[in-house]
């Protein structure tokens, strides 16, 4: 039971970040130039460049990058609040 709640929380956080990032990008595209547009366009990039491992039979590529903006952080907090209200 505990593992199921963790999986649901993890998916809620990922979903909140994706939806928040999408809404932030759409609003940044729609809004006229100004402070709010600048706030929505700023993002932090976390991660590392792709690393390629070329073996004789198989070639593997590993990489991970996260682009976090203001509304994706808000989306994460909303998802956590919703999870606490609905599942706990």
Closest to 38 (Cα-Cα) out of 49, 27, 46: 27
Question: How many Cα atoms sit within 13 Å of 72 on the Cβ side?
Answer: 18
pTM of the predicted model as reported, rounded to 2 decimal places: 0.75
pLDDT tens-digit map of 28-39: 889 899 998 888
Closest to 80 (Cα-Cα) out of 19, 1, 8: 8
User: Which residue positions in the chain have pLDDT lower than 50?
Assistant: none
User: What percent of the chain clears pLDDT 90, i.e. is strictly above it?
Assistant: 43
């Amino acid at each position: 039971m505990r593992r199921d709640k963790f999986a649901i929380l993890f998916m809620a956080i990922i979903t909140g970040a994706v939806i928040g990032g999408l809404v932030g990008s759409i609003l940044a595209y729609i809004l006229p130039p100004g402070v709010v547009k600048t706030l929505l366009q700023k993002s932090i990039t976390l991660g590392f460049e792709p690393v390629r491992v070329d073996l004789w039979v198989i070639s593997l590529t590993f990489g991970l990058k996260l682009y976090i903006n203001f509304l994706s952080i808000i989306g994460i907090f909303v998802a956590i609040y919703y999870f606490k209200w609905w599942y706990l």
